[in-house]
Chains A and B, each alone.
Chain A
Amino acid sequence: MKHDLKVEKFGVRLRPVNIKDAAFILKLRTSQEFSKYIGDTSSNIENQIAWLRNYLQRENDFYFCIETHFNEPIGTIGLYNITSSEAEWGRWIVYPNSLAAPASAYLIYYIAFEIIKLDRVYCKTVSENEKVISFHRSCGLKQVGFEENAVTINNQKYSLIIQSLEKEQWSDVAKKLERISTIIGR
């Protein structure tokens, strides 16, 4: 599969991850500060490289590095489980001080609705991760599901909240995200 999608706005860019990003991704995903509610990740760089090699062969999966327009990596985000009408987004870790969370969310929705032309995008968040659930609610996503004890992180079971955005609501959500993202893009 060609992983060549690249989008940029508000001084934030999503570009396809590559093997060279393995160390950065590993650092993010094993950081206690940023990955409390991210699925378990091997701390071995070889395993991360193998995962990326496997990902690069996979269909229906886009994994992006979030970076500034100065090419400084500040996080990751992904769109996967893509069907003809919908996809899941996640693998979302952003350095909080970059203030790029809204801009990166805008860009992943832009890819989903404007480039791939999907009808719906959803995300699954650990129920204890209140700030992220609140972020999606603030954007205008609706809660559409709950999966009890669906994931295990550090030997602990967590439930997942599923929040969804339909194509029809995208323009309203885009306006909200554009307004607040101008603060970092100016």
Chain B
Amino acid sequence: MKKSTAIKEIMAELLNCDVENAETIARDSCSEWDSFKHLELMLTIEEHFKIKFDIEQINKAIDFYSILELVQAVENEA
């Protein structure tokens, strides 16, 4: 499965949105994207891709594109 598809599917499941809409939602404007869900989302992405984020990276995750960028950056570091 493509990386972007996997991230969208995880976002859709945890943030209660359609997979097609995952690209359009943002942490600031989505009321369901609370601080519990944010950590749950980042932890689930970590587990899926077998990577680890640091706190600074977790704070930088604000939408689909920033998460995709973070996953690619952490994978490239490995």
Contacts and interface: CB of A to CB of B under 8 A. Distances in A.
Contacts of A181: 39
A132 B46 CA distance: 25
A139 B36 contact: yes
Contact of A101 (B32, B35, B42, B58): B35
**Interface residues of chain A: helix, strand, loop or mixed (majority):** helix
Interface in A96-150: 96-97, 99, 101-102, 130-132, 134-135, 138-139
A5 interface: no
Contact of A132 (B34, B42, B58): B34
Contacts of A130: 31
Interface in B1-48: 31-40, 42-43, 46
Nearest to B59: A97
A184 interface: yes
Given A183-B58, A184-B55, A99 B35 contact: yes
Interface residues of B, number: 17
Contact of A180 (B32, B40, B55, B59): B40
A180 B34 contact: no
Nearest to A97: B59
A180 B39 contact: yes
A2 interface: no
Contact of A96 (B33, B35, B36): B35
Contacts of B38: 99
Contacts of A183: 39, 42-43, 46, 53, 58
Nearest to B14: A138
A147 to B, nearest CB: 20
Interface in A159-186: 176-177, 179-184
Interface of A: 96-97, 99, 101-102, 130-132, 134-135, 138-139, 176-177, 179-184
13 contacts: A99-B39, A99-B55, A99-B58, A101-B35, A101-B36, A130-B31, A131-B35, A135-B34, A135-B35, A139-B36, A176-B36, A180-B36, A184-B55
Given A102-B36, A134-B32, 15 more contacts: A96-B35, A96-B59, A97-B55, A97-B59, A99-B39, A101-B35, A101-B36, A130-B31, A131-B33, A134-B34, A135-B36, A138-B37, A177-B36, A182-B43, A184-B39
Interface of B: 31-40, 42-43, 46, 53, 55, 58-59
